[in-house]
Structure 1
Amino acid sequence: MAELSQGVGIVETALTQEPPFWETFEQISIDNWPVWVLGRAIEKAEGVDELKQYIRSRFWFTYRKNFSPIGGIGPTSDQGWGCMLRCAQMLLGETLLRRHIQRHFKWNIDDKSDVYERILAMFFDEKDALYSLHQIAQMGVCEGKAISEWFGPNTAAQVLKKLTIFDEWSNIAVHVALDNILVRDDAVTMATTYPPEDAVKLIMENGKVDKTLNKERNGSSSDWRPLLIMIPLRLGLTSINECYLSAIQGFFKIPQCVGIIGGRPNHALYFVGVSGSKLFYLDPHYCRPKTATTAKPFTEQKKTTTKEAPAAEARSDDDGFSKLEDLEPLPSQTSDFYTKMDDATYHCQMLLWMEYESIDPSLALAMFCETRENFDELCENLKKNVLPSSKPPMFELLDRRPSYWPPFEPYMGVNMKIELKEFDEIENRDDDFEVLEL
């Protein structure tokens, strides 16, 4: 009990108070070594401390409050509905770390590069940050999801596919494989097709067209765009089928693994590793105030005064609560714009795990292939090691589309200007969100 009390004092949880969460504060006992985390084997000789440090180095995006209203009149917090959106941010953040820095990135609070800061700034809770909660939520409207409506894994994958079109600096392609089938030719087509330069334009809030993203294509002479593959799956009816455990274990061993978004029903988690039947994860269900600085990297230090944010209410239906929760506003304060940002709240100090049998069967696997050679290696690994380890296999891997399928058309954006502005109106709907996505 003393350890539990100490754990409660360390962290204030927003909605996650079930016993499995609190048990993670006790000294964890790992019987199955090595532990596999995002394609890396952590050996027993390295110990739990190395495991904690490696998971701590991943981005941890959680609920925030007191950010500017989404769409101008929408919510000022995502507490109670944004957990899957935050998990999508974490998965994409890991992908961008691999894209721009290195695969086994290690975070050092006292030594952060400009590239790292630039990546993190893309996820700030600001209207003009490309991968902000604001942009993900508003892009979800295109997928039929109202603002503050809970996402499932497939919706999250589709939104990332659409948003990454704007990111010419990273220049990644996102392929979402549907119907439990990954078609090799389709993925190659996606990775070797470039969006036309006039497919999208970014109009910022001052009405000017932002052309910087269109000019920052990474200087590679290769025809291959780094490829993020996402495979939404349903591995059971009401609970995950035990037969897939060995396949999930094998998935975390492949070098291209960038994790799984899933969790429990309406309670999204980002799974990053496995040891036996234990899955390690990052949990977005912890609400903090919006980051005090709205600085972008590379800016000079200066002073500014932030205005008091309005109080907000958040639904928490997705965690089994029916009540509304009041979120207190932040007082007016003076804050610095930092060139070296304070990013401690974006890295988790806790080691969290849950048993495989507790996972919801609706989830999405994610793999990142920076080169064509990486992709070919992935396909061979899936074919020889991962897919044969469960019967039936988690999904099918085909070389080409069946003849009776329509031709594959890679998503390349739209021939229209996309305004990154506030919506004039927010669609208010009382429909129940989808608990499960097939």
Structure 2
Amino acid sequence: MLLAQGLILHFLGRAWTWPDALNIENSDSESWTSNTVKKFTASFEASLSGERELKTPTISLKEKIERYSDDREMQNEIYHRKIISWFGDSPLAVFGLHQLIEYGKKSGKKAGDWYGPAVVAHILRKAVEEARHPDLKGITIYVAQDCTVYSSDVIDKQCTSMASDNTNDKAVIILVPVRLGGERTNADYLDFVKGILSLEYCVGIIGGKPKQSYYFAGFQDDSLIYMDPHYCQSFVDVSIKDFPLETFHCPSPKKMSFRKMDPSCTIGFYCRNVQDFKRASEEITKVLLF
């Protein structure tokens, strides 16, 4: 019902690191192991030769690999903080509330107004399109119209203007505004929502219950697992080094009966490349036909 043939949707499941979110190339563990060990071995042998000649201390292969792992963890931490800084409470933050409200004004919204899931989807799309940060060149957002995702349009967005960036295609976040009933959510959609949230490429659902916005990240039995963004916390200056991360993560998600869910919501999917999108389309079709 939600999508026509040849389109897509998606959600949770994939394990990924922060560089993956920025569409940064990471080799798989098998190729990393073979290539890196060869590199380290050659370097190690060279260092042994130098020791014979210069009688200087050498670093073992194990120490080199551990040092490389530490560098990887440090890189992930850097990207983690960079992504969070984009959502900081500052007019300069590309996805901060200051910027999002400015984009909302173009849709007739002002600070303090109610922003529905569909409006939020279009504001996020505009924010990504207008972002000038170099690390965001590799990602785009597609918002479905009338619950329909057109494959050709998504692939066009993924492939547009990428030749100059020397990359294959863009990652895409697909946002699908839907309504799961009339005044109240139709209980018949419960299995559909469970199926969507179980998919590998789905990244969650923007929604809530009447007059309260939530982010749904999963389910347990007939309850939805959600995070509430309205908990007030102290201001964090993301421009300083090693700013605290605790308030940007939810240590205790909550549960809510599916029957309390507001019928208006936006389903999100993340596809790292065109191949991901095609696989996601196949999986979504199975859920829709079930």
TM exceeding 0.5: yes
For residues 13-50 of structure 1, what are the alpha-carbon distances to aligned partners after superposition, in whole Å with 9 as ceiling and x for unaligned?
A: xxxxxxxxxxxxxxxxxxxxxxxxx5239xxxxxxxxx
CA distance in 1, matches of 2:24, 2:259: 35
Task: Indicate yes or no: 2:156 matched with 1:183.
Answer: no
Contact kept? 2:23, 2:272, Cα under 8 Å: no
Larger radius of gyration: 2
Aligned residue for 1:40? Answer: 13
Instruction: Specify the code of the residue in structure 2 equivalent to 1:283.
Output: D
User: Is the 1:173–1:191 contact (alpha carbons within 8 Å) kept by the matching residues of 2?
Assistant: yes
Report the AA paired with residue 242 of structure 1: A
Distance apart, 1:99 and its partner CA? 3.4
1:251 is matched with 196
Distance 2:253 2:119 in 1: 28
Q: CA-to-partner distance for each residue in 1:46-101, whole Å, 9 max, x for gaps?
A: xxxxxxxx9xx9xxxxxxxxxxxxxxxxxxxxxxxxxxxxxxxxxxxx99873358
CA deviation after TM superposition for structure 1 residue 266, in Å: 2.1
Q: Offset of 1:153 from its aligned partner?
A: 0.6
Deviation at 1:148, TM superposition (A): 2.1
CA distance in 1, matches of 2:166, 2:218: 32
Match of 1:355 in 2: 257
Task: Look up the equivalent residue of 1:225 and give its one-letter code.
Answer: K
- The aligned residue for residue 122 of structure 2 is 158
State the TM-score, normalizing by the size of structure 1.
0.49
Partner of 1:387: 288
Query: Does structure 1 residue 99 correspond to structure 2 residue 22?
Result: yes
Corresponding residue for 1:399?
none
Contact 1:279/1:353 (<8 A) preserved: yes
**Which SS does the other structure have where 1:236 is aligned?**
coil
Structure-2 residue corresponding to 1:232 = 177
Shift of 1:158: 0.5
Distance 2:220 2:275 in 1: 28
> Please, what TM-score do these two structures have when normalized by structure 2?
0.72
State the alpha-carbon separation in 2 of the partners of residues 176 and 275 from structure 1. Answer: 28
Match of 1:242 in 2: 187
- When the two structures are aligned, how many residues end up with a matched partner? 230
Report Cα offsets for 1:183-211 as digits up to 9, x if no partner: 1112112222239xxxxxxxxxxxxxxxx
Is 1:344 the equivalent of 2:246? yes
Superposition map of 1:312-327 within 5 A: none
Verify the 8 A CA contact 1:101 1:116 in the aligned structure 2. no
Matches within 5 A, 1:404-419: none
Which residue matches 1:265? 210
- Return the offset for 1:147: 2.3
**CA deviation profile, 1:91-150 (whole Å, cap 9, x unmatched):** xxx998733589xxxxxxx97611111111111100111011100011100111122212
The alpha carbon displacement at 1:377 in A equals 0.4
The reply on whether 1:375 has 2:277 as its aligned counterpart is yes
CA RMSD after TM alignment: 2.8
The 5 A counterparts of 1:77-96 are none
Question: 2:135 is matched with which residue?
Answer: 169
Q: Is the 8 A contact 2:12 2:217 kept in 1?
A: no
User: Contact 2:22/2:135 (CA < 8 Å) preserved in 1?
Assistant: no
Judge conservation of contact 2:196–2:202 (CA < 8 Å) in 1: yes
Instruction: Using the TM superposition, name which of 237-246 and 185-194 deviates more.
Output: 185-194
Q: Is the 8 A contact 1:126 1:134 kept in 2?
A: yes
Distance 1:129 1:160 in 2: 13
User: For residues 95 and 143 of structure 1, what CA distance do their matches in structure 2 show?
Assistant: 32
C-alpha deviation, 1:180, in angstroms = 1.4
Aligned 8 A contact 2:140 2:173 in 1: yes
